[in-house]
Structure 1
Amino acid sequence: MKFPSVFRTAAPMRFDIKPRYYDPVREEIEQRTSQIKKDLEAQGLLERSDGSSQDIGSYGAGIRGSFSQHKGIKERDGENMFASTAMIRTFIFLLLLGSIFGYVYLGPVIFEYIAYVAALIGAIYFFFRLKPKKKNE
């Protein structure tokens, strides 16, 4: 049984290789077929099956310009900032760091102060959590 943890553990990497086979005869047949299709489409004797204006043999057309159109990392809409795992880890780290330095400077009385502050924060959290929301908001 696995206990819940705040920290993410690394999963073992799996080695999965998919062999590729090269058949020169088949490759030549596919190149000829694509060239004949392009010639027939240029002459108007064959209609495009997908209805696009992109060449059949151009592989780089979909990649070209993709990085220039990147808009960056999207921000999360409507998600609570305190719900993220990184924020929870930061709060736990600061709590531990504060308790260690408090123990060094104030002694064991720091744990009572931390308990009072945690109880106060918990009470405020549950007060706003259980408070009924207004209908017009």
Structure 2
Amino acid sequence: MKLPSLFRTAQPMRFDIKPRFYDPVKEEIEQRTARIKKELQAEGKLPYEEGYDPENDSFRGSAIRGAFTQGSPIKGKTSTPFSNTGFLRLLIFLVLITLVFGYVYYGPDAVYYLLYFATGVLLVSLIVKLKGRLKQ
């Protein structure tokens, strides 16, 4: 069982190479069949494929066209500052620094005040989350 950690551990890199083979005979056969297929479609002996434009000799409505112009991250994933792990680490660091300096300057009372404050913030956040779920 793995214990939770604040820091990421390095994962071993995987080496996966996909070999590519060049077969000139196979490539020539594919080019010839594509050329013959186009000639037969031009003569009307074979039906055109869906989305094929014989005047432009190209496919219309390509799925790739405009795919990179969106300029947005993966759809469905919204990043909020509170879901970021870096923000969580910063928050924990600030709480610990505040705890240490509060203890040095004010004594043990600062620790209790900080614990009361953290409990209050936790309760308020839980109430807000539950209220949001009840609306849905």
TM-score (norm 1): 0.66
Aligned-residue CA RMSD (Å): 3.7
Matches within 5 A, 1:1-137: 1-49=1-49, 51-53=50-52, 63=64, 65-67=66-68, 69-73=69-73, 74=75, 76=77, 82-103=82-103, 106=105, 108-109=107-108, 110-128=110-128
Greater helix percent: which structure?
A: 2
Q: CA separation in 1, counterparts of 2:132 and 2:32?
A: 71
Q: CA separation in 2, counterparts of 1:127 and 1:62?
A: 45
Q: 1:6: how far off?
A: 3.3
CA gap of 1:27–1:5, structure 2 versus 1, over 3 A, is same
Q: CA separation in 1, counterparts of 2:132 and 2:92?
A: 29
Q: 1:21: how far off?
A: 1.0
Q: CA separation in 1, counterparts of 2:25 and 2:39?
A: 21
Q: Give the residue type in structure 1 aligned to 2:39.
A: D
Q: CA separation in 2, counterparts of 1:103 and 1:33?
A: 81
Q: Give the residue type in structure 1 aligned to 2:114.
A: I
Aligned residues: 129
Q: CA separation in 2, counterparts of 1:41 and 1:128?
A: 64
Q: 1:72: how far off?
A: 1.7
CA gap of 1:90–1:28, structure 2 versus 1, over 3 A, is same
Larger RCO, structures 1/2 (Cα 8 Å, 6+ apart): 1
CA gap of 1:14–1:43, structure 2 versus 1, over 3 A, is same
Q: Give the residue type in structure 1 aligned to 2:40.
A: L
Q: 1:96: how far off?
A: 2.7
TM-score (norm 2): 0.66
Q: CA separation in 1, counterparts of 2:129 and 2:65?
A: 49
